Chain A
Amino acid sequence: MKRQFMLGMAISAFSAGVAMAQVAPENVEFADGAIAQSLSGTAGNADDGKKVFGTAGLGNCVACHAAVIAADIPFPGTVGPALDGVADRWSEGELRGIVANAKIMFDGTIMPSFYKTSGYIRPGDAYTGKAGTEPLPPILSAQQIEDVVAYLLTFKE
């Protein structure tokens, strides 16, 4: 009983630590489109990242990107380039920067900014069609960004 309690304390202390290490969307620092530091302070999990990649309500990266490694996710889109080999082409920090706000790396790109909360025209409340109030929650959380980056780091050729 006591031990379990201690463990519980340890876990909440740990998550408090995570909350402190987390970088809020408005405080993210980009250098040449890249973000050097982890946004969540916790290492990304590639399996969770795959979920973010393939789920419509999350990253929905598959709406625009195909990749051989993700071939089991059906009907990938062709709006963006195939992502095979992105881990060879880009560093972790660059991939983090691209996912958080691709418009800094690729000026004017159609790729959405996943870790951004304001500066929108007619921002909505998610997919309801109703008005949203800025700051909006970012499309992906800090940890989801880390997870999808961890997944992208497996895209080697």
Chain B
Amino acid sequence: MKQRTIKTALAATAVLGLAFAGMASAEPVDDTLVIDGVEIVTKAAGAAHLDGALPEAMSGWHFRDTETRAMQADDFDNPGMIYVDRGLDLWNAVDGTEGKSCASCHEGPEAMAGLRAVTPRVDEKTGKVMNIESYVNDCRTTRMGAEAWGDKAVELTDMLALISFQSRGELMNVAIDGAAAPFYEKGKEIYYTRFGQLELSCASCHEDNYGNYIRSDHLSQGQTNGFPVYRLKDAKLTTPQGRFVGCVRDTRAETFKIGSDEFNALELYVASRGNGLAVEGVSVRN
């Protein structure tokens, strides 16, 4: 049996597959996310720069089960909201040798509204890719005389929750041209590279197979508009790059480090694939 016959064979199994379709619906759930009476945009036309690779951008929310979706639709049930409150305490807390808090210079956290929708972005002065985590640690080390928070420190994810929440509902609009262009290209290359002993790229799962199940996991497009994500499985918040680590590790590959040039470029690229989707503030996933 050669290549040609397999096509027919596969087509036959595809038809057969329909008979099973009832056991696990492969389609993302058709539902609308409304929080406190406000609709959050979870579907958008695929970004033009993707040349049709994603006909429609969809939030990971659509791929989660009914209970998980409901949890996110109600701020009292969303376990991630506690961390927004904790982030506010940190915002007002004096730390470091300069005797300052975030509030000393930025006043209220509302000052950060809109930032989450346009990051990661390239800093004009330094030419570096900056996400919210790197801005926060930059202020701590260069302006407060405090130590940087660790990549997975709860303080950092709490602060990310607080700052992201200020942009809830705003549409992702990450720049990919100008100074961002080389990082976009680098991120794109990483996205399509088949890493590790399983030889899988981000695209293998999140572009070619979203909607399919990999074991019991309903594959989403791997969008980052929902971050930080409260993972029920871990009972804590995760940053986008924290999530990337797990996905690369699962291909039996050597991961990149959080904050590495590679992951910074990848985060910028992945975020741009979700341009048009709303920032969710703090989302809930399994």
Contact = CB atoms under 8 A, between A and B. Distances in A.
The interface size bin for chain B is 35 or more
A156 interface: no
B1 interface: yes
Contacts of A81: 10, 13-14, 17
Contact of A121 (B9, B194, B245, B255): B194
Contacts, number: 113
A82 B23 CA distance: 13
Interface stretch (A2-10, A43-51, A130-138, A141-149): A130-138
A64 B213 CA distance: 7
Contacts of A136: 197
A78 B26 contact: yes
A36 to B, nearest CB: 15
Given A66-B20, A110-B200, A126 B194 contact: no
A60 B17 CA distance: 20
A63 B213 CA distance: 8
Contact of B213 (A79, A123, A125): A79
Contacts of A94: 1
A127 B254 CA distance: 9
- 5 shortest interchain CB distances as A-B pairs: A75-B216, A129-B249, A131-B254, A81-B13, A129-B255
11 contacts: A78-B17, A79-B213, A79-B214, A84-B13, A91-B1, A103-B199, A110-B200, A123-B196, A124-B196, A129-B255, A132-B197
Interface of B: 1-3, 5-6, 9-10, 13-14, 16-17, 20, 24, 26, 193-200, 204, 208-209, 212-216, 219, 245, 248-255
Given A56-B215, A75-B24, A132-B197, 9 more contacts: A79-B209, A82-B20, A89-B6, A89-B9, A103-B199, A110-B200, A121-B196, A127-B249, A128-B249
